[in-house]
């Protein structure tokens, strides 16, 4: 039995969701199973290559819905989970009891754990540490920006490695460990331990770069680092540098996209009032009410910059009232 698990790549919650789903499936569905992992990233154009839906079963976790009949399992918690009204209608009419959605959850991992327990008799206690930390990481439930940026906890170091590693096999090697080993022990795995020092040094450099590049005005931070290879920067650094901010808008670039990241300061003394998922959806992106993103083709820097500037003006206008 071969199960292909598609997960949100470059994301701690995505990797953890894939890990927890695999453990649940092996324990409660069938044990004689081989898992194959495929990372998915938000990009301009088609998000799915249906020729990859080649497992005996195919699951998607922590990513948008696909109406393909080849997808047999789906879990997501993003407000922008459906690419079209037709996809949303397809989900609503699904009667398989294998596809689940609830945007109220902080993390997809905690959502998978609850559904697996309540609907399939899975015991979530052995994965309690993983569930706790995915809620903290994906829900930005840190005590303050300093603790989010210093990354002392094992989960924070793993998050950095997942988001910033250039090794395409790194997350796939990590997933089988996440649901079975304490997070601190995973840091000691040679393939993890060897990449942490250079990534921590890169993280320190990124703080200084964002200190120079970011500007805060009317409660909204803006920065453009598209000329640098820094897409996997720690998303809390802007709020660490600008503690009085409410929102941030950042432009970054990778080999396959220009990304507009839109977020809100979890520690702001002023409550965010703009639904950022709805803002990003207008430009073909999405996310949650408090954090979202838009992906443009790598050649569309001007369009991405224009969208970012429009969003900055909208958010600054909302703060000015």
219 phi/psi in degrees, rounded to 5: 75, 5
Name the residue with tokens 């994906």.
138
Q: Which parts of the chain register pLDDT below 50?
A: none
Mean pLDDT score of the chain = 95
- Structural domains in the chain, CATH included, are 2-191 (3.90.1640), 215-320 (3.10.310.30)
Q: How many residues does the chain have?
A: 321
Give the pLDDT confidence score for residue 45 in this predicted structure.
Answer: 66
- For residue 75, give both structure tokens: 């879990």
Give the pLDDT confidence score for residue 251 in this predicted structure.
Answer: 97
The neighbouring-strand residues paired with 84 are: none
3-state secondary structure of 150: helix
Name the residue with tokens 């040094």.
201
Question: What does the alpha-carbon distance between residue 251 and residue 242 come to, in Å, rounded to a whole number?
Answer: 17
- For residue 313, give both structure tokens: 């003006």
Name the residue with tokens 């990534």.
199
Specify the pTM: 0.88
Mapping DSSP onto H, E and C, the string for 224-270 reads ECCCCCCCCCCCCHHHHHCCCCCEEEEEEECCCCEEEEEEECCCCCC
Give the pLDDT confidence score for residue 44 in this predicted structure.
Answer: 67
């Amino acid at each position: 039995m071969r199960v292909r698990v598609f997960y949100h790549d470059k994301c701690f919650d995505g990797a953890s969701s894939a890990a927890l789903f695999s453990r649940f499936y092996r324990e409660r569905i069938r044990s004689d199973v081989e898992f194959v992992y495929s990372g998915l990233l938000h990009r301009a154009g088609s998000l799915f290559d249906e020729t990859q839906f080649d497992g005996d079963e195919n699951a998607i976790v922590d990513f948008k819905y696909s109406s393909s009949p080849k997808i047999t399992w789906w879990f997501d918690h993003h407000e922008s989970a459906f690419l079209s009204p037709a996809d949303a209608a397809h989900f609503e009419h699904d009667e398989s009891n294998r596809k689940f959605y609830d945007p109220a959850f902080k993390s997809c991992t905690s959502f998978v754990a609850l559904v697996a327990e309540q609907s399939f008799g899975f015991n979530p206690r052995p994965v309690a540490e993983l569930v706790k930390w995915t809620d903290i990481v994906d829900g930005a439930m840190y005590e303050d920006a300093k603790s989010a940026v210093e990354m002392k906890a094992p989960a924070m170091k793993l998050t950095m490695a997942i988001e910033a590693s250039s090794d395409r096999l790194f997350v796939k090697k990590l997933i089988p460990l996440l649901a079975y080993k304490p997070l601190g022990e995973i840091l000691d795995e040679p393939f993890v331990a060897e990449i942490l020092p250079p990534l921590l040094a890169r993280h320190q450099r990124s703080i200084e770069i964002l200190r120079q590049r970011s500007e805060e005005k009317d409660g909204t931070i803006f920065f453009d680092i598209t000329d640098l290879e820094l897409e996997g920067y720690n998303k809390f650094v802007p709020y660490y540098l600008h503690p009085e901010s409410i929102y941030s808008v950042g432009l970054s670039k990778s080999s396959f996209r220009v990304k507009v990241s839109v977020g809100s300061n979890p520690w702001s003394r002023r409550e965010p009032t703009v639904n950022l998922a709805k803002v990003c959806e207008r430009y073909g992106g999405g996310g949650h009410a408090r954090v979202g993103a838009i992906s443009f083709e790598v050649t569309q820097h001007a369009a991405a910059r224009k969208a970012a500037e429009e969003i900055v003006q909208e958010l600054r206008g909302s703060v000015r009232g």
